[in-house]
Amino acid sequence: MQKIIATLISFLMLSSLGFAAENAKNLMKEVDKRFSAATKYSVYTNKKKLKVDEIDQIKELRKNAESSLKSGNEEEAHKLLEEALKILK
């Protein structure tokens, strides 16, 4: 019985790590999409213009999130990407 419970807990922990990584990848795609839209020039939109320092900050946050994700730190990547999304809103 204890082996079954231990196996079940291990499976749940591994699946949650996979979900966190997938969630961070989805957030990264969302940051890329919003960043692209925010930096695209159009005379027809009335969107908030990003400042140069905000653009640099978003690029740095995304780069750090990608390196965190590659090193296996999904939680840190998620946090950095959420911060980038706050700037883009």
Q: What is the pLDDT of residue 17?
A: 44
Q: Could you report the per-residue pLDDT of 55-87, keeping only the tens digit for each?
A: 999 999 999 999 999 998 989 999 999 999 999
Q: With a cut of 80, say whether residue 49 has pLDDT above it.
A: no
Instruction: Evaluate if pTM is beyond 0.85.
Output: no
Give the model's pLDDT for residue 43: 56
> Which residues lie closer than 8 Å to 39 by C-beta, 6 or more apart?
50, 55
What is the end-to-end Cα distance of the chain in Å, rounded?
50
Task: Give the count of beta carbons closer than 10 Å to the beta carbon of residue 24.
Answer: 24
The ranges assigned to domains in the chain are: 21-88
With a pLDDT cut of 90, the percent of the chain lying above it is 39
Q: Give every CB contact of residue 64 below 8 A, 6+ residues apart in sequence.
A: 80
